[in-house]
Amino acid sequence: MTRPLVIVGDSMLDVDIEGAATRLSPEAPVPVVDTERIWKRPGGAGLAAVLAARTGCEVVLVTAVGDDADGQALTDLLADAGVRLVALQLAGNTVCKTRIRVGGHSMLRLDHGDGSASGAPVPPAVAEVLEQAGAVCVADYGRGVTAHREIRELLTRVARRLPTVWDPHPRGSRPVPGCWLITPNSAEADGDSAESLREQWAARAVCVTLGPKGALVATENGNAHHPVPDSAARAGHGDTCGAGDRFAIAATMSLAEGKDVHEAVADAVDAASRFVAAGGAVGVSSAAPVGQGPSATTESTAITGDIADVRDRLRSRGGTLVATGGCFDLLHTGHVRLLRQARGLGDALVVLLNSDASVRALKGPRRPVVADQDRARVLAALACVDAVVIFDELSPEAALAQLRPDIWVKGGDYTEADLPEADVVRRHGGEVVLLPTVAGYSSSNLIAAARS
């Protein structure tokens, strides 16, 4: 997309507390969860915006944000993800949803916060970003943004000229007429067919999502079923939290590219299935070990060596395997931030490092300035890196075919079209994530400045 993707809807802060339960409390017959890690991420429309930003496109989020600690945490997470925020006023406190999870399964959810969008006039920036948008995705979570009179008027006008996808909510507002696609799940459809909902909502198309069974689509030309691709179905089932947001974002982006609704739904089924198989919303969370402080160990335990050995040793630990790659010739702040964010997407991070010969072929005869073994030692010393593997080819495709990571991470200065290895990752059930880069940092620029 050459123009911004605008997300409109209700946001919240989501927290996952992961731990182990090996005993019962002496006070009551309930399990005691020993906390191992806390994950935080934007929820609702905020999660949709983060998922969109990780495809590499420009994303603007129109949402109500509270002036409290949870609201500030939400704002910071969105900024870290590269999402531009256009804030509406929030009446009440930021909604925060906390899940207690053991072994990948939710045991309990605790909610606090009563915030909803106020009826105050919307800032002029809302109309401006919608005018500049390439497509719009509405993520309604029943907290008042889509009920705002001015927002509804703006969205009604937008739907006449731009791809507009509406992801509804049982407590939310009726979608505005003319939406290009509305995406309720089977529970939200409440027994109504996609065809009847399309008529009720005066939409161009309605798609009822069915989880592992795919999706049913109704258009003015009839109905169609889009099953989950075999490759995604074989990958197994992960956490479904956020799957609806991933579906709606993928459909919006496909419509913006000029695809018809059936092509867009097929793309969305594929994207949502892979998202769930790769771990769901946990894969887009910021994580930190509980109790980590100044006294925490910094000794490197990273694995180096043969890729098959690295893969088998890390897979034996379980969890989500993340990989990234590059030359890393003069490690800088941008590299470190990308590596830390990549590690936060899963349970182990492998860095695929271009060898000296590979760097010379890519960068020229005067590179690298640091030999591959030394670059590997520096990377392995970082607490966020679990393994480093050096490869000789120009592209990491062959290494990825052996490693088969759940998530492949690259910086946001790339697009998926720039990554020939993306097909290899997806062929083995993995997901490609593009993380925002830190402006102003470049190994090539640093080396040029030092030489001058």
Rounded CA gap, 252 and 7, in Å? Answer: 10
Rounded CA gap, 285 and 39, in Å? Answer: 6
Active-site entry in 140, 245, 267, 406: 245
Is residue 159 a contact partner of residue 179, using CB atoms and an 8 Å limit?
Answer: yes
Alpha carbon of residue 228 to chain centroid: 20
User: Sign of the CA dihedral 390, 393, 395, 398?
Assistant: negative
Q: Which residue has the tokens 């105050």?
A: 120
Residue 230 known to be catalytic: no
Alpha carbon of residue 414 to chain centroid: 16
Is residue 198 a contact partner of residue 219, using CB atoms and an 8 Å limit?
Answer: yes
For 226, half-sphere exposure in the C-beta direction (CA atoms, 13 angstrom radius) is 24
Residue 3: partners with Cβ closer than 8 Å, 6 or more residues away = 58, 132, 133, 134, 135
Dump the DSSP string for 23-85: EE-SSSSSEEEEEEEEEEEEEEHHHHHHHHHTTTS-EEEEEEE-SSHHHHHHHHHHHHTT-EE
Q: Which residues are catalytic?
A: 245
